[in-house]
Amino acid sequence: MQAILALEDGRIFRGEGYGSPGECQGEVVFNTSLTGYQEIATDPSYAGQIVVLTNPQIGNYGTNQADNEAAKPFIEGLIVREFSRVSSNWRSEQVTDEYMERYQVPVLAEIDTRALVRHLRDNGVMRGVISTVSSDVEALVQKARKIRKMDGTDLAKVVSTKTIYTFDESDSHNQTGDPLLTPGVDRPQLHVVAYDFGMKRNILRMLTREGCKVTVVPAQTSAEDVLGMKPDGVFLSNGPGDPEPVDYAVNAIRGMMGRVPVFGICLGHQLCGLALGGKTYKLKFGHHGGNHPVRNNATGKVEITAHNHNFAVDPESVNANEVELTHVDLNDNTLEGLRHKTLPLFSVQYHPEAAPGPHDSHYLFRDFRNLMEEWKG
């Protein structure tokens, strides 16, 4: 079937439609990962977005339940160069075309994704509509222009869990592939309360690999309720949307600072920055992919890291007397990590759990474990 992508600036791309027929809309972003399309599709941080994958061949190894980072895909739509309708992998349980149709995700293929990505790099991310049911280009462009902008939008409370639950590793699968992460190696179990702003499942796996019992709470849970659970540490997850309207989480972080160790990633990092008095801003086309070089300022080592974010913390807005800037992105010098100099709080902008992506930053979960042990004395 024929499909059209209409961008808010009037640019049109025509190709073949796969997955679910119909129409979807959202902010169009590109991801440079070479593999892991299913993990990308099921990352809740992509809520409200249409994802363009730069790797030209997508879908060829199929899908399976073990690779889901959430119960279902959260992307609004998918755009690729070549989309495979067959699976060539022993782990595949369902071909990708059927998987996307099952979860009502439209797929646009057979377009020049290089041209689209360059357009987004030059002009910034923009709103767009994928349609297999309408050929009225002008109407689709107008529809794209009416889509609510990501700026100022709180999506964390939309994708968050609605109930408190304890993560059970036996209900999941170990996809870390890291032999150094062995559960409970002669270390007492620690209790971590994890805020779900759109959390990926591999984060929970990584915490349990460090001997942690993990209680997951909704995004709008108060600091008092969390502290009442007597956690050894608090984790702040990734998530979609603009961090600034997530003021309830900022207030909760301020209520926990200095009372319990805190570790945040992605949106959790941005919320830490706001709680420490900093400011955030929107990047031109964001960071999305599993191949971003980040320098650890303390060691000088470069980590290849996985990213998925449109917003960043302004390093100039953070109080240098209180906060150490620990990591920096070597592509554009954006702030990638911070640590409070006296309180047990640190965060990184990227995804140390990867899934998909490299394992260079797995050590951060061990650092969190060590911080909790030091705080307990």
- Catalytic residue IDs: 266, 351, 353
| Tokens found for residue 54 | 């730069």
- Rounded to a whole number of angstroms, the distance between the first and last alpha carbons of the chain is 63
Measured CA to CA, the distance from residue 268 to residue 280 in angstroms comes to 12
**Kind of pairing, strands 57-58 and 190-196?**
unpaired
What single-letter amino acid sits at 127? Answer: R
Q: Which value, to the nearest 10 degrees, does the dihedral of the CA atoms of residues 265, 351, 158, 232 take? A: -40
Q: Are 303 and 361 in contact (CB under 8 A)?
A: yes
Q: Are 42 and 17 in contact (CB under 8 A)?
A: no
Whose CA is closest to 176, among 42, 352, 56? Answer: 352
Measured CA to CA, the distance from residue 270 to residue 198 in angstroms comes to 14
Measured CA to CA, the distance from residue 351 to residue 337 in angstroms comes to 11
Indicate if the alpha-carbon torsion angle 229, 42, 241, 324 is positive or negative: positive
In three-state secondary structure terms, 134 is coil
| Tokens found for residue 91 | 């782990």
Measured CA to CA, the distance from residue 353 to residue 207 in angstroms comes to 10
Strand partners, 301: none
- Which DSSP helix (H) or strand (E) runs through 185? none
**Kind of pairing, strands 57-58 and 49-53?**
unpaired
Whose CA is closest to 278, among 237, 235, 249, 320? Answer: 320
184: left (phi over 0), alpha (psi -120 to 50) or beta: left
